[in-house]
Amino acid sequence: MATGRDDFVIAIRSAFLKKKDKQRFSLLTLIFLSIFTIILSNFNFKIIQIIKSSINEVTYRSSFFVSIPENYIKGLKQKFDKHMKVYDAYNETKTELENLKEKKLVNEYLKIENEKLRSLIDENIGTNEVLAKVLIDKESPFLKSIVLNKGTKDNVKIGMAVLDGVYLAGQIIEVNFTNSRALLLSDLNSKIPSILEPNNVQAVVSGTGLEHGIIEHTQDDFNQDINTSEIIVYTSGRGGLFKPGIPIGKISRDANQKIDFFSDFTQLDFVKITSYQIGSK
Amino acid sequence: MSALNKSPFLKIFLSYMPLTMLLFSVFNELNLNYLKLEYFAFNFVHILIFFWTLRNPNHLGYLAIFFAGIINDVVIGIPLGISSFCYLLLCSVTAYIRNITLSPNFIKDWISFLFTILLINSIQVIILDLFFLVEVNYMNYLINSGFTFLFYPIFFVIFNILNQSISKQTND
């Protein structure tokens, strides 16, 4: 019995402390170093922030260059898929264009009316936009985020909205000198105050870690209220970070409160990083 | 042909192959996520580290694994040090198995691998969820562990061939 325990202790000691010919550090030293790194990365000291930021800068750039062959192959596959669906896509686009032409006329009128009403209550929304290129879009199965090529030197700040065209794609959660990281709407940790139209119900759009999102904190009788085939989800502007009315996604009647985001997060090449100043003139 | 087999370039290339694969996969976050199969994902890095530190640790140093973990944390955006810690725990299990095993056996390795990835994924979830308050999907982790376990035999065969080539080159 004692021999068995001795063998176990010898095996453990050998595993953790013994260095092979080409190993410079023992396993135990490196495990302690990684624990030390975890603890340090939790502190917000300036020196730690600078080191973290430098590591991020180097790694993001390196990852961008290492990913070039893989991204090229992915791009080829997408091109091929699009090419195969070109006829169906043409018919779909034609119908959609007809509908949009009709809606455009109504929208123009509403836009002018909206501006008039805002000027009546003495309110304006200022916008600052920065166009950014997506450097890394490696979506881990656990965290959904992208790295952008604009950082503090371009006045990017934490909390700014990330738009794909006119659609909301996410928000900035980390900023370095020349790049930044945006958390996508599909991430489990993403929570966006929103409004469901045409029912005018306040809700929170939450990511699921999958391709779709879900709505939370709606009125109890919301399900009975659904009398349209499709509900469009917009930002409500309640958090104070985003302006109201940025389109997020749509909920189909049979989708059981699942949101299909308007933006396709796998196809992001360029995005707009935007901040809003909402207030009186 | 024989001259090619003894080429010093090939020898160096093969001996650095595990390290190159490790760095390439952490920079690329290689998990076949883009196949768009819901829930499908596996952790190639875990398979790679487990195999090489178990069968031929001379070609994959612990320091390189530590730095690979740091890079992985930066690329996927989790607090620094977590992946390094998990990778090194994986290494400690393989070092222990190597010390207590006289004749290596694939089935025993495979079962040990299952327990190891379940352990390190649990530790990662605990650190992220309880200490850093990052919300994670437990089911994703479980399914990821399942696929990683299932993919091990395929990569075992590939890595074994590579390992034999490296050993052959080194002995020549």
Q: What is the DSSP string of chain B?
A: -HHHHT-HHHHHHHHTHHHHHHHHHHHHT-S-GGG--TT----HHHHHHHHHHHH-GGGS-HHHHHHHHHHHHHHHT--TTHHHHHHHHHHHHHHHHHHH-SS--HHHHHHHHHHHHHHHHHHHHHIIIIIS-----HHHHHHHHHHHHHHHHHHHHHHHHHHHHHHHHHH-
**Mean pLDDT within B89-96:** 90
Nearest to A162 by CA among A204, A200, A198, A132: A132
Residues of chain B contacting residue A66, judged by C-beta atoms under 8 Å apart = 23-24, 27-28
Average of pLDDT values for B129-154? 86
Residue B2 has pLDDT above 90, yes or no: no
Q: Using one digit for the tens of pLDDT, what is the confidence trace for A42-54? A: 777 777 778 888 8
Mean pLDDT of chain B: 83
CB contact under 8 A, B41 and A66: no
Predicted confidence at residue B31, as pLDDT, reads 53
Q: Is the pLDDT of residue B58 over 50?
A: yes
Q: State the ipTM, two decimals.
A: 0.83
Are the beta carbons of B85 and A74 separated by less than 8 Å? no
Residue A103 pLDDT > 60, yes or no? yes
Contacts of A14 in chain B (CB under 8 A): 95, 99
Domain CATH for B11: 1.10.1760
Mind telling me how many Å the CA of B1 is from chain A's nearest CA? 30
Mean pLDDT of chain A: 80
pTM of structure: 0.75
**Stretch A4-8: mean pLDDT, rounded?**
70
List the domain range (segments joined by +) for residue B91.
2-171
Contact A30 B92 (CB under 8 A): no
Taking one residue from A and the other from B, the number of pairs with CB-CB distance under 8 angstroms is: 144
Judge whether residue A81 has pLDDT over 70: yes
Nearest to B74 among A27, A55, A142 (CB): A55
A71 touches chain B (CB under 8 A): no
Q: How far is A35 from chain B (nearest CA, A)?
A: 7
Nearest chain A residue to B127 by CA: give it: A38
Count the Cβ atoms, other than its own, within 10 Å of residue A155. Answer: 13
Q: At what angle do helices B17-28 and B44-55 cross, to 10 degrees?
A: 160
Q: How many domains is chain B partitioned into structurally?
A: 1
Q: Is the pLDDT of residue B162 over 80?
A: yes
In this prediction, residue A1 carries a pLDDT of: 47
Averaged pLDDT, B58-71: 88
Percentage of residues in chain A with pLDDT exceeding 70? 85
Q: Do B24 and A66 touch (CB under 8 A)?
A: yes
pLDDT confidence of residue A266: 79
Tell me whether A51 touches chain B (CB under 8 Å). no
